[in-house]
Chain A
Amino acid sequence: MMNLINSLVFFASISSMVVMYFLIGENRSDIEFHNGNAYLTEEKRKLTVMPPFTFEDYISGDWAKTFDLFVNDNFPSRVSFMEWSVELRKLRGIEVENQEKIVYIKPKNKNLPKFDDQGNPIKFLDDYDESYSGGLLIINGRVYPRSGGSTKMAANFARMVSEYAAQLEGEVRVLTAVPPLSSAFIPAEEYRHYNSQNQQSLEAIRKNLTNGAIFCDVFTELNNHAGEQLYFGTDHHWKPIGAYYAYVAFCKGAGFTPVPLEKMEKRTKTNFLGTMYQLTQDPSVKKNPDVMDYYIPKVKTDALRYSEFGFKGVAAKVFEHGCSGGTTYSTFLGGDRPLMKISTDVKNGRKALVIKNSMGNAFSVYLISHYEELWIVDLRYSKQNMIEIIRTNNINDLIFAPGMNHVMNPNTVNMMRRLGTQSGVYIPPKPSPIVDSTAVIPDTVP
């Protein structure tokens, strides 16, 4: 009798998930819709949908891989299971309070099919963004990358910027405002070497910039405020206050007077558990959600966002105040738009173009106080030709403000180089092996 019950309970359990999937459908609390596409709210990525069956995809194995992801993404009560798994993993042993930990992360989206919306194969540069093969260090519920950049790679970035400076000499001023990694400010003596590594890496940019390109010393400005929380502990981005100090450094380099914080409107968001928590799933990180104070310059703006191709703009906002929870950082520019144009009521005739990844979002919003027109290009997604934008719109300043990860990655540096030559039409990348960004950021001896 018990054998019968055992067998039936098992069969019912493994069958129930398919039944529940069809019952629940899209009535899920963990997804949100943008432009008709479903996104996983917590993980800030597209929900994998049932792949259409094609013989080519089946033979290449891509169909099966996508189907596996589809099952995983659409597993009934997925968010609850993920929360339970965090609790279950605690049962491995005894949690030591304030224990320093190192977590090794494998890129979660390693097997994601790499296609753009038009079905072209594409390599997502986010693969490098979120892969920390050197591991992540957790101290007092805050997460830091275990690397400090590389002078060799920084020089490579500076050469790329200098090429633009040479190409646009006499037309446009070229500036760089690259922030250090949060590892520069780990509040523990044994990790001080990351501070100097970050500094050396950024100094290598200064030393290798030529053709009149201007180096804005973000590191020194941030280092002067090292006692403050400049970066999030649960997310891989910086806090708006860190971005503000970078903005101050930028103003020093660009010859502007920075707007004091007191002259901006301050707002606060709480309970932010960002990407670093998603990656580590560490209970001590969960106990320390971030609070985000952010500052809004008193400037009137009209913003347009563009898809990765063409110039058909859609209305957008500089600040999306509704973002909360895991998407709190998307408050700035509403997240990573391929291309954005912000027109302001600062009628000084100055125009700038910013090249950035997500780190640049919190930084760019301060620039609206100094420019009548601001173009913001996400180096990973924009396929528009940057030189064309610069010349057509009479841009005055070209500002490179990517995060350190993208400076240290030869692929993303090439991506920035390609922004000036690409045709605005997507060209599939050559099938050359992609270098892992983190592999070229050796954890060198201090």
Chain B
Amino acid sequence: MVFSSLTFIYVFLPLSLLFHYLSRNTLYRNIVLTVFSLIFYAWGEPMWIILLLISSFYDYFNGILVERFHGTWKAKLFLVLSVVGNLGILLAYKYGGFIWENIDWMLKNFNDWFNMSLVTPFEKPTNTLPIGISFYTFQTISYVVDVYRGDTKAQRNPLNFLMFVSLFHQLVAGPIVRYVTIADQIENRRVDWNLISSGVGRFCFGLFKKVVVANIASELVDKYMIYTYHGDGNFDLSSYEAWFGIVMFSVQIYFDFSGYSDMAIGLGRMFGFKYDENFKHPYAAQSVADFYRRWHISLGTFLRDYVYFPLGGGRKNRYRNIIIVWILTGFWHGASWNFVLWGLYFGCFMVLEKLLENVLKKTPRIIRHAYTLILIVFSRALFYFDSLYLSNTHFENSDFKHESDWSPLFGFMGNLFNSPNAVNPAFYGDLMMHLYFFILVILLCIPWDEIFTEENRFRLKVERIFYFAQPAVNFALLAIATTLLVNATHNPFIYFRF
């Protein structure tokens, strides 16, 4: 199930809120939340719930055993078992196909070179990716590591632990909520109208971002990122149109993912949980490092705390550590060399920024900002295509088999400024037809809360007005999103594939 569906908003959510608030008893509420979370997760793909349950109970026991044997080699053993088990699940279900393809490719080459007939030792996995696997495996790893480090106590109640792993607010697309963040809230959360109200506002805003901004951007992405090849080296898009598609993809992916995170945080608050922020106006960043302090913060801090620091952080082999973390970041996003390259791309720029720290500081803000945005937008091209070569179904159905997807982007085919086919006359019309939409996107990307700090009088005045207007504003956001959802033909969630 997805948050931006009518079933979720108008059936699942009211029922889950109703049952949750029927009693003040925490045990009852936890049971309700767990049951609803499992229903949510099982919606459409119920078979993967078994994997979720196995993973949860595996780490439930690992956590207890790590605590029991704290300070001994046995604790380390169960920690290793937890990490290996979780990564094993990820390897098997997320990276199995990728590993098979690479082994198969290597063996084929090996056979050709040495005239041998080795075959891949296992069948190619054909399973679909279990929803949310990248998120919940990381959550359970962080839990066991935190117990090992003594940062938190092991959860003794299996129901509470299952609820932590399966909480529907953040289960399928994050943010990656660490156990320490909500350990206290699991058993002693206090809910008041202020918290619920702020959750309502956050949810409605996230829904608006997803349904209005991300979905409209995705229509333009579909239009400008799916090239049709006409033979003889001709596409129906010029380069600048293809790059416009990439810019729109950058808009889509941000509003899609941050909208989802907003909804997750809002839902958490409605049920009494306070999750950490996952986005802080990333497109206002002044450098690549700054960008990743603002983008998918929960993944960044996870890898910082559980990979970068244990490797030595900035004290020992700093640049190597940065590159390792970024290759892992890329690989986390998907089982494809494109994502590895994407991680390496950012790793290299991170290293460069560290080396040229002083130069960057002296560079004017606007240039730093432009440099960051250009790098980010370019990286989206790597992110959009699943492979370095033919991933586009349009190509696979044509005779076009030997060129890269990237050709239209760089005008390799002579389409730098216009398309030889001129069958896409709608570009300028599209710009005009989406003018107010572009303005809205820019307004929503500006970090207003950084420009107007908490003491700012103007901000206080606006917040005061909003306090009284919030029921109407939230109702309007919900109504707009609902109106578009009823007629939605296109409502994808990009981060579901991770």
CA–CA, A443 and B231, complex, Å: 10
Interface flags for B1-41 (1: CB within 8 Å of A; 0: not) read: 10001110111011001100000000000000000000000
Chain B residues contacting A34 (CB-CB under 8 Å) are: none
B197 close to A11 (CB less than 8 A):
no
Q: Considering the complex, which residues of chain A in the window 14-60 have a beta carbon less than 8 Å from any beta carbon of chain B?
A: 14-15, 17-18, 58-59
Chain A residues contacting B223 (CB-CB under 8 Å) are: 102, 104, 135
B46 close to A59 (CB less than 8 A):
yes
CA–CA, A2 and B465, complex, Å: 11
Q: Is B45 an interface residue (CB 8 A)?
A: yes
User: In the complex, given contacts A3-B193, A68-B7, A94-B433, what are 13 additional A-B residue pairs having Cβ atoms less than 8 angstroms apart?
Assistant: A10-B478, A18-B14, A59-B46, A61-B46, A64-B1, A71-B5, A72-B486, A82-B487, A85-B486, A85-B487, A88-B480, A92-B434, A439-B397
Q: Is A425 an interface residue (CB 8 A)?
A: no
Chain A residues contacting B216 (CB-CB under 8 Å) are: 92
Q: Knowing A61-B45, A102-B426, A444-B230 are in contact, say whether A6-B6 is a contact too (CB < 8 A).
A: no
Interface flags for B483-498 (1: CB within 8 Å of A; 0: not) read: 1101101100000000
Q: Considering the complex, which residues of chain A in the window 317-362 have a beta carbon less than 8 Å from any beta carbon of chain B?
A: none
From B236, B426, B433, contact of A93 by CB (8 A)? B433
Q: Is B422 an interface residue (CB 8 A)?
A: yes
Q: Is B75 an interface residue (CB 8 A)?
A: no
From A3, A15, A82, A135, contact of B197 by CB (8 A)? A3
CA–CA, A225 and B262, complex, Å: 58
Q: Knowing A91-B436, A92-B436 are in contact, say whether A106-B47 is a contact too (CB < 8 A).
A: no
Q: List 15 A-B contacts (CB under 8 A).
A: A3-B198, A6-B197, A13-B479, A61-B45, A64-B44, A65-B44, A72-B486, A78-B486, A93-B433, A93-B435, A99-B433, A104-B226, A190-B425, A442-B230, A445-B234
Chain A residues contacting B47 (CB-CB under 8 Å) are: 59
Q: Considering the complex, which residues of chain A in the window 120-134 have a beta carbon less than 8 Å from any beta carbon of chain B?
A: 133-134
Chain A residues contacting B228 (CB-CB under 8 Å) are: 134, 442-443
Chain A residues contacting B312 (CB-CB under 8 Å) are: none
B residues lining the A interface (CB < 8 Å): 1, 5-7, 9-11, 13-14, 17-18, 43-47, 193-194, 196-198, 200-201, 204, 216, 219, 222-223, 226, 228, 230-232, 234, 236, 393-394, 397-398, 421-426, 429-438, 467-468, 470-471, 474-475, 478-480, 482-484, 486-487, 489-490
B46 close to A58 (CB less than 8 A):
yes
A81 close to B487 (CB less than 8 A):
yes
Q: Is A434 an interface residue (CB 8 A)?
A: no
Chain A residues touching B, majority SS: helix
**Total A-B Cβ pairs within 8 A:** 166
Q: Is A369 an interface residue (CB 8 A)?
A: no
B201 close to A6 (CB less than 8 A):
yes
A93 close to B437 (CB less than 8 A):
yes
B486 close to A4 (CB less than 8 A):
no
Distance to closest chain B CB from A326 (angstroms): 15
A14 close to B7 (CB less than 8 A):
no
B232 close to A68 (CB less than 8 A):
no
Q: Write the chain A residue with the least CB distance to B470.
A: A6
B193 close to A99 (CB less than 8 A):
no
Chain B residues contacting A84 (CB-CB under 8 Å) are: 483
A71 close to B484 (CB less than 8 A):
no
Q: Considering the complex, which residues of chain A in the window 88-106 have a beta carbon less than 8 Å from any beta carbon of chain B?
A: 88-89, 91-96, 99-102, 104-106
A4 close to B232 (CB less than 8 A):
no
B429 close to A100 (CB less than 8 A):
yes
A102 close to B424 (CB less than 8 A):
yes
B6 close to A72 (CB less than 8 A):
yes
